[in-house]
Chains A and B, each alone.
Chain A
Amino acid sequence: AQSVTQLDSHVSVSEGTPVLLRCNYSSSYSPSLFWYVQHPNKGLQLLLKYTSAATLVKGINGFEAEFKKSETSFHLTKPSAHMSDAAEYFCVVSRNSGNTPLVFGKGTRLSVIA
């Protein structure tokens, strides 16, 4: 069965410093992997997705993630955190060989300190 493990429930960074949110996956297929962001009282927004093309995926708002098959990881990074990045981030894997339905990780809450 497909699953994702987000290694940190809470990450706190200073504004302007790099962001690293860690995710490991388990999949019997060649997986489709996603990162979603959820701001308080707002809907889910897709940051980026990997679907077996380039292993380094660039998303919105300066985020990117690298698919590493040997490490079964799909960590999310950003070179410089902004206050507006404070939110809940979900690493997600598709359950089937297609892109749906989705299996969500438990989430990582990112805090950005001024």
Chain B
Amino acid sequence: SAVISQKPSRDICQRGTSLTIQCQVDSQVTMMFWYRQQPGQSLTLIATANQGSEATYESGFVIDKFPISRPNLTFSTLTVSNMSPEDSSIYLCSARQDSLRNEKLFFGSGTQLSVL
């Protein structure tokens, strides 16, 4: 099974600044995703991180606000740009790993972001 390392685990940031969250998987995965979990809410998909090309964003999320990179099959970053208090949330990385008989999904432990 794959292990996802996500960092930082938490941060407190000032309004107007940007934070980059890193997601490292210990083995190759076919797909990587970024989710947001706002306080007391469920998870919402932000985007699918595509290896070597631009990410695919969900409705309500744009590249200028949440630029995503995925330079290889095991690593992705999500940047939260020009932050405001409304961006305070938990951000989760997820990865899908395919094998001959099975498809498995894994989640990172999340980044808890507080914006002052």
Contacts and interface: CB of A to CB of B under 8 A. Distances in A.
Given A42-B109, A43-B110, A44-B92, A99 B103 contact: yes
24 contacts: A42-B109, A43-B92, A43-B107, A43-B109, A44-B92, A44-B107, A46-B105, A98-B103, A99-B96, A99-B105, A100-B31, A100-B33, A100-B96, A100-B105, A102-B33, A102-B43, A102-B105, A104-B35, A104-B42, A104-B43, A104-B44, A105-B42, A106-B41, A107-B42
Query: Interface residues of B toward A: which range?
Result: 10 to 19
Contacts of A103: 45
A101 interface: yes
B105 A43 contact: no
Interface string A89-113: 0100000001111111111000000
Contacts, number: 40
Interface of B: 31, 33, 35, 41-45, 48, 92, 94, 96, 103, 105, 107-110
Interface of B is mostly: strand
A44 to B, nearest CB: 4
Q: Which of A90, A101, A102, A105 has the most CB of B within 10 A?
A: A101
